[in-house]
Amino acid sequence: MKIVVTVKLVPDTNADKRIDPATKRLVRTGVETVLNPFDEYAIEAALQLKEKLGGDTTVTIFSMAPETGKEIVRKALAMGADDAAMLSDAGLEGSDVWGTAYAMAQALKKVGFDLIVCGTQSTDAITGELPGALAEYLGVPGLTYLRKVDVDGTTVRGERETDNGYQKVVAELPALVSVTKSINEPRYPSLKGIMGAKKKTITTLSLAELALDRPVGSDGAKTEVLDLAAAPVRGKGRMVNASDGADGARIIVEFLREKKLL
Amino acid sequence: MDFELTDEQKAIMSLCREFARDEVAPRAEEYDANAEFPYELVRKMADLGLMGLPFPEEWGGAGADTVSYALAVMEIARADASTAITLAAHVSLGSTPFFLFGTKEQKERYLIPLAQGTMLWGFGLTEPQAGSDAGNTGTRAELRDGTWVINGTKAFITNSGTDITGGTTITAITGKTADGKNEISNIIVPQDAPGFARSRKYKKMGWRASDTRELSFENAAVPEENLLGPRGAGFRQFLTILDGGRISVAALSVGLAMGAYDEALKYAKDRVQFGQPISKFQAIQFKLADMLCEIEHARLMVLKAAWEKDSGRDYVMAASLAKLFSGEVSRRVVNEAVQIHGGYGFMEEYPVSRMYRDQKINEIGEGTNEVQRLVIARLMGL
């Protein structure tokens, strides 16, 4: 079975985010690029499936990113994935979710897959729309927000997180899943993994190699950022003085009841 | 000239940075306060392959280079010096002698578990009466009927008494040379050798979570085959070990300084006085600029020494220069980091206070500042 994990390269999540007022895009230069933290859960989920299924199961990393992102893709390989494919083309710059999902879908058809594993969102744009859009363009079932995933034969099963519980979901392969942070604890790449990653293959695809029938990049974007505004400052919390621990607990319980949280 | 790190070096650095930030830093204060050995962190470092970082894969290592090793020690020290010295002493002092001088059997028996990190090992050179004057070893080993009988005391031996320590390699006088000088040899002493005992852990000002003990040998007996390398080669061997060890201790100093700088910068941006963050005051800005400048300087010296070692050059001078300078830089940087914190820097709940205590040994261990100057002067031919 071939599992493909989609990963995104994002500006370091610990650095301050800056937005260029002219282009209204996130400034990506001068900031260290890292693997999107949400995608580490997807890689871990794929590696655990591979370890469980054994046999000829492979994990391929896929990323739409400039070729300079190879170094970050190698981190995913160092965690234990078998190989990687990148879609790199200057013509993709400025793609919105629609264009990104479309271009990725065409590339993934070329790469081939039985199961695609995505993170739920990226830490830069945070739309959380890509996994759904990708499943749509690929014409495969999309099981999103899974906190558990398992493959049995040609069936993928999972538990889909909802606001007040979870749904048991099932689909036939080929399929796409996205996994949440509660699914696992991603492993660190080991030194052996790091040293071995340079021997693994990273293939690069360009737009010319794909059968595209619509424009992508900024020309093909269906959405446009018109304006930006700073997030409203959160109001100050309520301070209460409790006479002792028990009184404090009583006040907190009362407050939670008031908000219908208890 | 190329300052670009390789992909592997970058990946190892960022792995260690992440590991140090997420696993080491949150526990450092507690381990230090309780003088508790970080077994869990050692196990995790072993799982990652850090404990055998520079040794070839055939001996259980990861096959990385000295630059990667220096970067790893820097990143761990940035979060906690005790964990960093546990790693650095394990690799440079505990394991390296087996790698450089061990027979095939000794490598299989000792180096593989050491590189895999399931066992720790000490290196016993210093004695209560032989510190900088390391050649003046008083410990004696006498060969009697195929057994080395050892008598003497070793002081300040790192990783010598943990629950997973397998033993210590010691220097001892094994006879006289033809010209009447003491013949020094290295002898492998397993933890269970009869007559070999460890003291309780020292109570230390810094590096409190690391395991440091005094070792005593009273007719301690080990088989003749426990000689490491040729008889009489001990002096030359420990000099070689100390040369390489200087790079890792220098990296530790740089890492500690980087950690103190990180804390000072964060504090300066948060701390408001006279209506603005103190980072807006030139007095604080100048301190931070000087700290960064010195760290960069020391870091380049350490990486250059590591690069010289990796490329097979004579790195002895570069390692001594880096060890001396980075030790002194770490003092100036931690001192200013505490100064920027003001009164809070004197409080144990701020990491800079621990870093201040952890720093001093960087100018003493593995050759004092004074001995480094002596080594440098001799290399200059003076």
The predicted-structure confidence for B238-297, as pLDDT tens digits, reads as follows 999 999 999 999 999 999 999 999 999 999 999 999 999 999 999 999 999 999 999 999
**Last residue in a domain, options B121, B146, B170:** B121
pLDDT at A238: 80
- Position A149, amino acid: V
pLDDT at A72: 84
pLDDT at A21: 81
User: Is B110 found in the same domain as B77?
Assistant: yes
Number of folded domains in chain B?
Answer: 3
**Span A25-43, pLDDT tens digits:** 777 777 778 899 999 999 9
CATH of domain A2-220: 3.40.50.620
DSSP of B332-371, one letter per residue? HHHHHHHHHHGGGGGSTTSHHHHHHHHHGGGGTTTS-HHH
User: Is B247 found in the same domain as B356?
Assistant: yes
B366 is catalytic: yes
- Residue among A58, A63, A55 at smallest CA distance from A81: A58
**Span A141-179, pLDDT tens digits:** 999 999 999 999 999 999 999 988 899 999 999 999 999
User: Is B94 found in the same domain as B129?
Assistant: no
Residue A235 has pLDDT above 80, yes or no: no
Tell me the pLDDT of chain B averaged across its residues: 96
> Do residues B100 and B244 lie in contact, with contact meaning Cβ atoms separated by under 8 Å?
no
Return the structure tokens found at A135. Answer: 């499943």
Domain-located, residue B368:
yes
Q: How confident is the model at residue B203 (pLDDT cuts 50, 70, 90)?
A: very high
Q: In terms of residue numbers, what domain contains B297? A: 236-379
User: Is B372 found in the same domain as B269?
Assistant: yes
User: Is B352 found in the same domain as B246?
Assistant: yes
Domain-located, residue B374:
yes
ipTM of predicted assembly, 2 dp: 0.81
Mutate to test the interface with A, among B5, B9, B10 (most CBs of A within 10 A): B10
User: Is B183 found in the same domain as B48?
Assistant: no
**Last residue in a domain, options B212, B232, B252:** B232
Give A15's contacts in chain B (Cβ within 8 Å).
none
pLDDT at B147: 97
User: Is B62 found in the same domain as B96?
Assistant: yes
Chain-chain contact of B50 with A191 (C-beta, under 8 angstroms): yes
**Last residue in a domain, options B88, B121, B154:** B121
Angle at B245 between CA B239 and CA B247, to 5 degrees: 125
CATH of the domain at B107: 1.10.540.10
Chain-chain contact of A78 with B18 (C-beta, under 8 angstroms): no
User: Is B109 found in the same domain as B165?
Assistant: no
Instruction: List CB contacts of A215: < 8 A, sequence separation 6 or more.
Output: A99
Residue A220 has pLDDT above 90, yes or no: no
User: Is B269 found in the same domain as B164?
Assistant: no
Mutate to test the interface with A, among B4, B8, B22 (most CBs of A within 10 A): B8
User: Is B370 found in the same domain as B252?
Assistant: yes
- CA of A194: which chain B residue's CA is closest? B8
Residue B356 has pLDDT above 90, yes or no: yes
Pairing mode of beta strands A115-119, A2-6: parallel
CATH of the domain at B218: 2.40.110.10
Percentage of chain A lying above the pLDDT 90 cut: 60
**B246 phi and psi, to 5 degrees?**
-60, -35
Give A67's contacts in chain B (Cβ within 8 Å).
none
Least confident of A9-18, A65-74, A116-125: A9-18
Torsional sign, CA B13, B14, B15, B19: positive
Instruction: List CB contacts of B280: < 8 A, sequence separation 6 or more.
Output: none
Chain-chain contact of B7 with A195 (C-beta, under 8 angstroms): no
Which value, to the nearest 10 degrees, does the dihedral of the CA atoms of residues B219, B222, B223, B227 take?
-110
User: Is B180 found in the same domain as B67?
Assistant: no
Chain-chain contact of B19 with A188 (C-beta, under 8 angstroms): yes
Domain-located, residue B1:
no
Domain-located, residue B149:
yes
Q: Between B7, B18, B48, which is nearest A191 by CB?
A: B48
